[in-house]
Chains A and B, each alone.
Chain A
Amino acid sequence: MIEVNNLHKKFKDVTALEGLSFSAKDGEITGILGPNGAGKTTCLRTLYGLLKADQGSATIDGINVSEQPLIARGNLGIFPDKFGLYERLTAYEQIDYFASIHGLTGAKKKQAIEEVLQELEMEDLAHRKTVGFSQGQRMKVTLAQALVHKPKNFVLDEPTRGLDVMSTRILRNYLSKYKAKGHCILFSSHVMQEVAALCDRVIVVANGKLAAQGTPQELCDLAGEAQLEDAFVKIIGSDEGVAA
């Protein structure tokens, strides 16, 4: 469960967040939609505890991120915006590294790694150095390192950027699987089809504020458009947004 409450954030003269609030529930995939500069990344970074909100709060499973960042992060799996790999490590070592950071040790750690490898069907990749991995393979490694500690909450920042169709499909399947297991999944994107196909709920962010939220269908209805993309354009196009 991720909750964002009345977040405000200013960088010098630029207002990035201006009272953003939303929540992402367990067992759902929540999408954040928003144009570039709408404050998506700032919001997520605040959620990671990297940035401190000027006002408002973010909680993960009820833990305030700015107050107890390390504990909050323990319940979080992150698939970052620009993901890089330690190319001199093997996939296994890399996953192991993150598992250890999350405090796993010994047999428990080993088991966790085996499980995540299995889940992601990447056993054959495990002991290769990640240098030269395809984009899809890199995505898997990143996914594995984010999920090895079995976080309740999972945040993905533009996960499908740069992925080919096959990889995107694979990712979607995983997300669905995780949802089914009751995880809370929050992911930002600007690919409408993806959001439409995957998300249970969509949060539209514009100018640092919540512009609208609801199921994709609700948003379409709200804007009176058949396509989510059109609905999105219409929603962010309005000055004050549309209350849901």
Chain B
Amino acid sequence: MKKMWKSLFGICVAVGFISQSYAEPAPTKQQMMIEDCHVEGIRSQVRCGKLTVPENYNKPTDATLDVNFVVLPAHDNSKNNTPMMFLAGGPGQAAAQMASGILRMFSEVRKTRDIILVDQRGTGQSNGLQCNNFEDYDLYEDITDDMSSQDILDCLADFNVDLSHYNTTNAIRDFDALRDALSIEKIALYGGSYGTRAALVYMNMFPQHIESVVLDSVGPVEIQIGLFGQTGARSYQLLLENCQLDEACHQAFPNLDEEFQALIERVEAEPIRATVMHPTLGSPTEFVISRTKLISTLRLQLYFMQGRQFVPYVIHQAYLGNYLPLAGLVAQSGGDESGQIHAGLLFNILCSEDYPLVKQNQWQADADNNFGRNEAQKNWHLACGVWPTYEVEREYFKPVTADIPTLIMSGKLDPVTPPSYGDITDKTLPNSRHIVVKNASHIVVSSPCAIDLVNEFLTNKDPQAIDDTCLVEIEDERFITHVNGSN
């Protein structure tokens, strides 16, 4: 089920992740412990630690919680360079769990900088708020359409912490306390997806502790997270256009959108039940495809380039009645635990910080689209209808004007944080630059060109001086047109 959450919600998601680092900790602060350790997917030793912080910063002597973090130490142990802290997406992704993926993307950065990965409170080993009752869900036979508010309440009942403190501003306080505990005067921030929101709040709260910021796929404070209908449709529209421009794709799928709309009508009438060989077990199994499952599976593919290439073929085959390609995509989405969203934290934050600010007519306008319809918002309504809310410190969610060098990056094809969002944030920041990468989707640093820009920016700290010529060489989007591959 958790994978389902990934596809249903958010800004969260998907592919690569990144991180930041800091300098070697002086374990002087008594509430911090740090040691050499191994983390999943990384062969060499890294540093793992816990920082004890108050659950409620206004009552520092009351309950505490341990914030889990991982430091990927720089190869260069000179400590010359400012460490970079990686702020994960979601909300609800645990940065420390994604260490290996982050390292793969940020290997250049890590050569000279420590990268600090913190499990935001409510994720991973920092009291991860996972909805365990969502897990006994079969990817193929079950559908989420019949999920009820009771499921949400069952999830809530599992938590025995004061959820009102599991918010963005307290998470930032944790991050900054860790920065301080590690004796870093000023830190570099990388935020991806919801991590950009966190970074922006950080910039409002502790501008004096930040050296530079990279915002990748921005969720501006001015825009509420959760309205994914129009942005998803825009991304789908660009996919259609790119398929038309690509000769092979155009030839193979000349009526792609018609086929997709017909498919939607087919599942709207009644969920499709196809008997297929179970993708993992090999035994015959019933593959039930509801509108939700169809849209959420396809929408998830729009987040990353490797996923997008399958979309035309999968739509076309499904239209023809072959649901195996779709089953293959579902199977793939059901793997890898590292980027999973902690649904409890996701709902906890969004239901207080964003959902209440969205007006009814906005939801309606967002649902009026030719791709995801209202699928993305359905679960917000379900969850936020019953989720307890807390008072948000709104003063930290104002447009950010801190004079900190900031590099903003957007993927042109992004289904949740389109380039126009980056423009909004770029407008209020005094020392920023917005770079749009043309053949990229959500989380731009997964492309080698973009990571070079980030590395250069972190070193020079001058967004205007970045040499972005490598962007020109990025090729057009390509698609799979045949079951055995494309030439």
Whether A and B touch (Cβ < 8 Å) is answered with no
